């Protein structure tokens, strides 16, 4: 405790100024004695040069003592007063050893008085000036009375008016300098008090401003006139996943895209005092997930009214837009569900009858008649139509999930083992699966997840008709959720295709267009998210994240993230 207090005292403003006084005194004396030595060498007075060495030794000794006292004691104000008292005595000694009434060192009294006002304040400056006057008067009286080796020519001449006038003039000068120094010290003290009060007020206002900004639940970004990020509040860091130190100095387009048109529209609205327009943009978080941000831009002005930057406030609209998308999908699903029963009876039953009839006619045909090929085409197309109806009914009326503890990595390995022996894979296509970090246990429906893996793998293979590689990987992400990644080297997709990838009957490989819709539905009901990144000619990466336990993510949240994910690649691929 004592050591910390001592360090605090020594690092205080008075402590630092006292160091300056000690070192400044030494430097001033060295310079003064240097010129005195030069003057003494050119002078015929032998006493002029004999004073240099004793004064230097005394100052060096005092500097050492002052330094030790400053280092080991905390009575800084007492040290300052003592040093100025010794300075008065030292100057008086210099005046005494030279011609008292014509000594060039008398001016040093004024230096001592002026300097003391910086350390001792107004009262200390007046006391110091009085001390200098008393010391000089005593020195002069001693010289007039013939004390020491000083000549008594004034007494012999019988005229004391000149020395008395000299002493009086110097004393008046000391007192005037002391009063002026006291006045200046008083003004400086008042200025320092006002400055400290203003600084404290500014610090309090800044702290209040920072607390207000940090407590706002909307993201707040400030930029300079060039659009480079200056600050982010806590909500902005939470929404985007970026830390302020990582994005400071970068363009705000990293969050909001190109801002030129937005700034122009906002500036126009600000000039007409109209309501600031709202904009929306896609943003990628630090983890690569896509967000939908709603934001507005306002000019940041100085006290003079000059625009110095911009303030961008934004909110995360991903969940809201996801709910809108969910509502739209649910409406579609409801309509599809109402049609499912009638489709099953109106199409499937006649289809079965037609297929049975064609098979009977086929058996009655002999040889390779031309009609035989036509019947084979009818049978194949009827099988394809039956598969479409089956996928359609699986999407419209999914079976209830049966959750249990399953090893996701093992499910993926089994699916890829079957895939390697499937006739759908060619010799130019390679598949690989990998599990990072040991068993990946999750609460899920094993059969539904295998269907997800199978659909994604088949879709990837169909996007590589001329060959390529498919790689699937299971790992844990930073939030301890399971991450399954499917990456292929196929032909990729356009932004428009990615935008509608999970919608029913939206196919990029020529299938029924329901496989990925079923995948999306299964992942959503497992509380997971699905994220697609693709670029034409550069392949596709689909990332699935699943909670390890049920209840870690609500259906609405997963729906929101899933919808956000499908649009993310549209932004990337553009």
- pLDDT at residue 110 greater than cutoff 90: no
Determine contact, residues 61/25, Cβ cutoff 8 Å: no
DSSP code of residue 304: T
Q: Which residue has the higher pLDDT, 189 or 105?
A: 105
Query: Above 50 in pLDDT, residue 10?
Result: no
pLDDT level of residue 329 (50, 70, 90 thresholds): confident
The angle that helices 107-144 and 13-42 make with each other, rounded to 10 degrees, is 60
Report pLDDT digits (tens) over 398-418.
666 678 888 988 999 898 888
Strands 482-488 and 540-546: antiparallel
Alpha-carbon distance 378 to 385, whole Å? 10
Mean pLDDT computed over 442-466: 88
The answer on pLDDT for 553 being more than 70 is no
Asked if pLDDT for residue 44 goes beyond 60, the answer is: no
Backbone φ and ψ for 68, nearest 5 degrees, come out as -65, -40
Residue 534 to residue 490: CA distance in whole angstroms: 10
Looking at residue 59, its pLDDT comes to 80
Please give the mean pLDDT across all residues of the chain: 78
φ, ψ at 522 (rounded to 5°): -65, -45
Q: What DSSP line would sit under 431-474, residue for residue?
A: EEEEE-SS--EEEE-HHHHHHHHHHHHHHHHHT-TT-EEEEEEE
Which residues, at least 6 apart from 104, have a Cβ–Cβ distance to it below 8 Å? 98
* Residues 533 and 386 sit within 8 Å (Cβ to Cβ): no
In this prediction, residues 206-225 reach a mean pLDDT of: 79
Tell me, what's the pLDDT at 204? Answer: 80
380 vs 49, which has greater pLDDT? Answer: 380
Which has more confidence, 520 or 399? Answer: 520
Highest mean pLDDT among 66-75, 128-137, 380-389: 128-137
Residue 106 has pLDDT above 80, yes or no: yes
Please check the confidence at residue 563 and state whether its pLDDT lies above 50. no
The whole-angstrom separation of Cα 219 and Cα 241 is 12
State the pLDDT at residue 252. 86
Q: Give helix 555-573 / helix 318-343 axis angle, nearest 10°.
A: 100
Cβ–Cβ under 8 Å, residues 508 and 501? yes
For the chain, which residues make up each domain, given as ranges? 2-196, 217-316, 321-396, 404-573
Helix axes 515-525, 555-573, angle to 10 degrees: 140
> Across 317-466, where does the E strand assignment appear?
404-407, 429-435, 441-444
| Residue 535: exposure state from Cβ atoms within 10 A (0-12, 13-18, ≥19) | middle
CB 485 within 8 A of CB 535: no
Terminal CA-CA length for the chain: 63
Please check whether residue 283 is in contact with residue 320, taking contact to mean a CB–CB distance below 8 angstroms. Answer: no
Percent of the chain with pLDDT over 70: 80
Q: Is residue 517 pLDDT above 70, yes or no?
A: yes
459 CB burial (10 A radius; 0-12, 13-18, 19+): buried
Note the pLDDT of residue 486: 93
- Whether residue 255 contacts residue 220, with contact meaning beta carbons closer than 8 Å, is answered with no
**What pLDDT was estimated at residue 1?**
40
To the question of pTM greater than 0.85 for the whole model, the response is no
Q: Which of 353, 304, 310 is nearest to 222 (CA)?
A: 310
Percent of the chain with pLDDT over 90: 3
CA-CA distance, 129 to 117, in Å (whole number)?
10
Question: What is the rounded CA–CA span in Å between residue 325 and residue 1?
Answer: 63
Judge whether residue 445 has pLDDT over 90: no
- What is residue 485's predicted lDDT score, i.e. its pLDDT? 93
Of the pLDDT bands very low, low, confident and very high (cuts 50, 70, 90), residue 94 is confident
Q: How far apart are CA 260 and CA 237, in angstroms?
A: 24
CB 530 within 8 A of CB 544: yes
> Where do runs of H (alpha helix) occur along 313-369?
318-343, 349-364
Cα(526)–Cα(542) distance, rounded to whole angstroms?
17
pLDDT band at 249; cut points 50, 70, 90: confident
DSSP alpha helix (H) spans, 216-308: 234-240, 244-247, 253-256, 260-271
How far apart CA 456 and CA 502 sit, in angstroms, is 12
Residue 555 pLDDT grade (very low, low, confident, very high; cuts 50, 70, 90)? very low
Whole-number pLDDT of residue 371: 72
Q: At 471, is the pLDDT very low, low, confident or very high (cuts 50, 70, 90)?
A: very high
Residue 223 near residue 309, CB atoms below 8 Å: yes
Q: What pLDDT is attached to residue 150?
A: 58
Name the pLDDT band for 31 (thresholds 50, 70, 90). Answer: confident
**Is pLDDT above 90 for 488?**
yes
Between 161-215 and 107-144, two packed helices, what is the crossing angle to 10 degrees? 150
Contact 542, 470 (CB under 8 A): no
d(CA 5, CA 7): 5
Task: Of 43, 29, 41, give the one whose Cα is nearest residue 108.
Answer: 29
Asked if the model's pLDDT at residue 220 lies above 80, the reply is: yes
Q: 3-state class of 291 per DSSP?
A: strand
> Are 453 and 469 within 8 A, CB to CB?
no
- pLDDT tops 80 at residue 39: no
DSSP category for residue 347: I
Q: Which residues contact 509 (CB under 8 A, 6 or more apart)?
A: 459, 462, 463
Question: What dotted CATH number matches 404-573?
Answer: 3.30.565.10
Which of the four pLDDT bands, split at 50, 70 and 90, describes residue 64? Answer: confident
pLDDT class of 487 with cuts at 50, 70, 90:
very high
- Residue 359 above 90 pLDDT? no
Q: Considering just the CA atoms, what is the radius of gyration of the chain in Å? A: 46
Q: The CATH number of 321-396 is which of 1.20.120, 1.10.3470, 1.10.287, 2.60.40?
A: 1.10.287
Answer whether CATH 3.40.50.920 is correct for domain 217-316.
no
Of the listed ranges 212-216, 253-257, 310-314, the least confidently predicted one is: 212-216
**Dihedral over Cα of 172, 176, 178, 179: its sign:** positive
CA-nearest of 294, 297, 305, 228 to 266 is 297
Residues 41-55 have a mean pLDDT of: 58
Q: Within the chain, what is the greatest distance between any pair of CA atoms?
A: 165
Average pLDDT over residues 31-44: 66
- DSSP, collapsed to helix, strand or coil, labels residue 152 as coil
Alpha carbon 69 to its chain centroid, in Å, reads 46
For Cα atoms 55, 58, 60, give the angle at the middle one, nearest 5 degrees.
105
């Amino acid at each position: 405790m004592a050591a910390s207090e001592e360090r605090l005292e020594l690092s205080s403003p008075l402590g630092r100024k006292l160091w300056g006084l000690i070192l400044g005194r030494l430097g001033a004396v060295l310079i003064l004695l240097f010129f005195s030595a030069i003057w003494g060498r050119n002078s015929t007075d032998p006493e002029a040069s004999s004073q240099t060495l004793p004064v230097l030794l005394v100052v060096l000794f005092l500097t050492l003592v002052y330094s030790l006292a400053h280092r080991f004691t905390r009575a800084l104000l007492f040290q300052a007063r003592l040093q100025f008292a010794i300075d008065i005595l030292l100057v008086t000694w210099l005046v005494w050893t030279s011609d008292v009434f014509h000594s060039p060192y008398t001016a040093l009294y004024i230096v001592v008085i002026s300097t003391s006002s910086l350390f001792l304040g107004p009262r200390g400056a007046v006391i110091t000036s009085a001390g200098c006057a008393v010391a000089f008067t005593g020195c002069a009286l001693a010289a007039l009375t013939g004390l020491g080796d000083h000549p008594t020519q004034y007494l012999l001449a019988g005229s004391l008016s000149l020395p008395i006038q000299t002493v009086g003039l110097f004393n008046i000068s000391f007192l005037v300098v002391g009063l002026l120094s006291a006045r200046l010290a008083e003004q400086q003290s008042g200025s320092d008090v006002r400055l400290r009060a203003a600084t404290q007020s500014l610090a309090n206002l800044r702290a209040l401003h920072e607390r207000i900004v940090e407590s706002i639940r909307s993201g707040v970004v400030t930029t300079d006139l060039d659009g480079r990020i200056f600050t982010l509040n806590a909500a902005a860091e939470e929404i985007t996943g970026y830390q302020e130190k990582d994005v400071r100095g970068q363009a705000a387009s990293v969050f909001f895209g190109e801002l030129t048109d937005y700034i122009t529209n906002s500036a126009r609205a600000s000039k007409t005092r109209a309501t600031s327009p709202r904009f929306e943009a896609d943003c990628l978080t630090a983890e690569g997930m896509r967000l939908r941000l709603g934001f507005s831009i306002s000019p940041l002005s100085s006290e003079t009214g000059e625009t110095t930057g911009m303030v961008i406030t934004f909110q995360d609209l991903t969940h809201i837009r996801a709910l809108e998308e969910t509502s739209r999908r649910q409406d579609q699903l409801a309509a599809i569900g109402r049609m499912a029963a009638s489709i099953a009876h109106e199409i499937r039953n006649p289809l079965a009858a037609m297929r049975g009839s064609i098979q009977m006619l086929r058996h009655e045909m002999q040889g390779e008649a031309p009609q035989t090929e036509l019947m084979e085409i009818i049978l194949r197309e009827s099988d394809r139509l039956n598969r479409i109806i089956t996928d359609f009914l699986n999407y419209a009326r999914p079976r209830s999930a049966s959750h249990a503890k399953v090893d996701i990595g093992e499910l993926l390995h089994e699916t890829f083992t079957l895939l390697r022996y499937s006739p759908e894979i060619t010799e130019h296509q390679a598949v690989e699966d990998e599990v990072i970090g040991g068993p990946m246990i999750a609460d899920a429906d094993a059969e539904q997840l295998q269907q997800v893996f199978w659909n994604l793998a088949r879709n990837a293979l169909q996007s590589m008709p001329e060959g390529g590689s498919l790689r699937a990987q299971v790992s844990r992400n930073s939030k301890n959720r399971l991450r399954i990644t499917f990456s292929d080297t196929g032909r990729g997709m356009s932004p428009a295709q990615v935008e509608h990838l999970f919608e029913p009957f939206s196919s990029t490989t020529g299938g029924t267009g329901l496989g990925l819709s079923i995948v999306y539905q299964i992942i959503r009901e497992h509380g997971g998210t699905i994220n697609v990144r693709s670029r034409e000619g550069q392949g596709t990466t689909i990332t699935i994240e699943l909670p390890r336990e049920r209840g870690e993510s609500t259906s609405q949240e997963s729906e929101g993230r899933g919808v956000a994910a499908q649009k993310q690649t549209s932004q990337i691929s553009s």
